[in-house]
Structure 1
Amino acid sequence: MTENELSKIVFDAGLKIHRKLGSGLFEHVYEECLFYELSKTDLLVEKQKLFPIIYEDLKIENAFRIDIIIENKLILELKAVEYINPIHKAQLLTYLKMTNCKLGMLLNFQSDVFKNGVTRIVNYL
């Protein structure tokens, strides 16, 4: 399945959650619900996955944690904040580069309209 096909599944699941719960909850609530929804599929879905960073001869274990990764292709970074800041986008782009994934989705569940809280970030390897 392509990254775009995966992102459609994620968007639909996120929209379902947002319609039922609305905005105003903590990020971890949305993460649990999204993981639950995606776990109903046949996809490989992992949450709070830790990754190392290798810098020259130094390997730093557990250097960063990804909220949700699907099929080792699509990274999801979840937020429940009033505004998405440039640092949120930079964080996701760094995760994409470190994992060689091509697509990430920044999902802000604090948005009144779910689609307005969704940002796709592409890693041009």
Structure 2
Amino acid sequence: MTKAEVTQLSYDIVGCAIKVHKELGPGLLESVYELCLAYELREKGYLVNQQVTTKINYGKIEIETPLKIDLLVNEIVVVEIKTVEKLLSVHQAQLMTYMKILKKPQGLLINFYTDNITKSMIPLVNDYFSKLPE
């Protein structure tokens, strides 16, 4: 996987989110947007895992956690869906931590409680992204 491929995948995910948002509008539960976004992505041929549970390695132990990642697309991009008036820094921190735990290079924080997905969406990358080939 290259940086360009990850970026294109993220672009496609955002395009699907825009489609869902245009169809449904703001104000629904996160779970509704998650289901619809997963449907749109699968229709485009992407592998989509929903509510991905994860374990945390801490010291010499592996801990079962109640953490659930909203969407993992093509085993590369972590998508965290929100329906809040304003995205907070804690939401970005949550996504960055999910990306670190899963060792994934890109994350998208998508807030469906907005007039414009593109303006409110926050893309995040980490060290895994910087290590990818161009």
So what's the TM-score if we normalise by structure 2? 0.88
Check whether the contact 1:73–1:103 (CA below 8 A) recurs between aligned residues: yes
Check whether the contact 1:110–1:117 (CA below 8 A) recurs between aligned residues: no
Alignment of 1:74 onto 2:77: yes
How far off is 1:62 after superposition?
Answer: 3.4
Q: Distance in 2 between matches of 1:61 and 1:41?
A: 33
Q: Aligned runs of 1:42-53 on 2, under 5 Å?
A: 42-53=45-56
Alignment of 1:33 onto 2:36: yes
**Gaps in structure 2 of 5+ consecutive residues:** 129-134
**Gaps in structure 1 of 5+ consecutive residues:** none
Check whether the contact 1:75–1:96 (CA below 8 A) recurs between aligned residues: yes
1:105 maps to 108
Q: Distance in 1 between matches of 2:110 and 2:91?
A: 10
1:85 maps to 88
> SS at 2:14's partner residue?
helix
Alignment of 1:117 onto 2:120: yes
Q: Distance in 2 between matches of 1:107 and 1:99?
A: 19
Q: Distance in 2 between matches of 1:12 and 1:118?
A: 11
> SS at 1:32's partner residue?
helix
Q: Distance in 2 between matches of 1:32 and 1:104?
A: 18
Q: Distance in 2 between matches of 1:31 and 1:11?
A: 13
Which string of whole-angstrom CA distances, capped at 9 and with x for unpartnered residues, describes residues 47-103 of structure 1?
001110010122112352110001111000000000000000000000111111111
Alignment size in residue pairs: 125
Check whether the contact 1:49–1:65 (CA below 8 A) recurs between aligned residues: yes
Q: Distance in 1 between matches of 2:21 and 2:61?
A: 42
Runs of 4+ residues over 2 Å off in structure 1: none
2:9 maps to 6
> SS at 2:70's partner residue?
strand
